[in-house]
Homo-oligomer: A and B are copies of this chain.
Amino acid sequence: MPLSEFELIERYFRRCGAVRADVRLGVGDDAALLEPGAGTTLVAAVDTLVEGVHFPPGCCAESIGHRALAVNLSDLAAMGARPAWALLALTLPAAEASWLEAFTSGFAALAEAHQVALVGGDTTHGPLVVTVTLLGQVPAGAALRRSGAAPGDALFVSGTPGDAAAGLALEQGRLAAGEHEAFLRKRFLFPTPRVALGERLRRHASACIDVSDGLLADAGKLARASGCGVELEAERLPFSAALGALGTRQARELALTGGDDYELCFAVPADALGRLEAELPAAQWGYTRIGTLCAGAAVRVRDATGELSVATAGYDHFSAPQS
C-alpha cells in the first residue's frame, strides 16, 4: 500500500540530520521557524539534481541523498559560511521504502557530519528531481565571493579535480580504470564538500568559487567576476594516483573540464601566501597552487611547451545537456 505524504514525513523526514537548538519549529507545519545568530549574515543556496542529467538513471539512492546536500554544502563552503538548516523538495515516481531509506541515510549522514538540520520540505509525485535549499551563516561582512581577486593573486584548488568526472564515466561504462575504479566511482558518488576549508579561507582568500562545472570554467568565472584573466599551469594540476594512471593527457582533460568535483578554487594575494601556508599548511589541508590571476580577460592553460588548447570550456546545462 502506498505511503501518504503524512506517513512519508513521519517515517523519513521528521528526524533527519542534526538536532539544533536554533530550530524553533522544524518539519511538519506550513513553514520552519529558525533563529539566526546575532551579528551574522544569512547565506542561502539552492541546487537541483535531475535523474539522467546529474546522475545516471538507477544511480544508488544513498549517493543521490548525499550529493543533493553535498552540492549545496559546497556552495556554502565557497562563501566561507557555516551550514545550518536544509529544506528538501523531493519529486518521486513512487514512494518506495527501500529507496527512501537509502536516500535519507545518505542525506542524514552528511547532514549530521556538518551539523545541518532538515527543517522543511515538500514531497511530490513526478519524475525523479531533488532540490535542496541550504541556509547557513557567516560573520557579518566576512563572506567570500567570486569577485575580489586581483592580477598577481595566486590561484589554488583543493583536492584532486577530475576524479569525479572519471567516476561518472565509469558509472556510464565509458571508461575502464582497473584497480582504481572503486576510488573514482566513490569520488563521483560521494563527493566531500570542503566546508571546514571554506570557513578558514575567510582569513586568507581574496575570492572563492566551488568547482562544479569543471575547473577551467569555474576558474574563468572567478576571474571574470573579479575583472581579471587567469593563467593555469597544467603541470601544477594535482592528480590523484587513480586519475594519473589514465595518462597525462586524459587526466588533464578530466581535471580541467570534468564536472562534479565540489572542490574549492580560490585566490590569495601574493603578500598573504606566507600566512596562508603558516596557518593552513597545504599538506594538511590538501590544496595546490595551479596558476595566477592576470590583467585582461583571457583564460589560458600553459605547460612547458606553451599554451594548450582545451577541448571544451566545461559543463553548461542548456548549451550542451548530457542525457
Q: Is A70 an interface residue (CB 8 A)?
A: no
Count contacts on A: residues with CB < 8 A to the other chain: 74
In the complex, per-residue mask of A139-180: 1 if CB is within 8 Å of any chain B CB, else 0: 010010111000000000000000000000000000000000
A263 at the interface (CB under 8 A from B): no
Q: Is the CB of A125 within 8 A of B318?
A: yes
Q: Select from chain B the residue with minimum beta-carbon distance to A72.
A: B31
Question: How many of these chains are in the complex?
Answer: 2
* Contact call A41/B46, Cβ cutoff below 8 A: no
Q: Contact check, B33 vs A122: say whether CB atoms are below 8 A apart.
A: no
A25-B143, A31-B79, A33-B143 given; A46·B122 CB < 8 A: yes
CB of A321 closer than 8 Å to a CB of B: yes
Task: Kindly state the separation between the CA atoms of A146 and B76 in the bound complex, as whole angstroms.
Answer: 32
Chain B residues near A34: list those with CB within 8 A: 41-44
A122–B2 CB distance below 8 A: no
Contact of A319 among B4, B43, B44, B138 (CB under 8 A): B4
Complex Cα gap A40–B41 (Å): 14
Q: Does residue A246 face the partner (Cβ distance < 8 Å to B)?
A: no
Mark A residues whose CB is within 8 Å of B: 2-6, 8, 24-25, 28-36, 38, 41-48, 50-54, 74-76, 78-79, 81, 85, 87-89, 91, 94-95, 119-127, 129, 131, 133, 135-136, 138, 140, 143, 145-147, 208-210, 225, 316-319, 321, 323
14 pairs, A vs B, C-beta closer than 8 Å: A28-B225, A30-B79, A31-B43, A33-B43, A34-B41, A34-B43, A35-B41, A38-B38, A44-B119, A44-B133, A45-B120, A89-B89, A91-B129, A126-B129
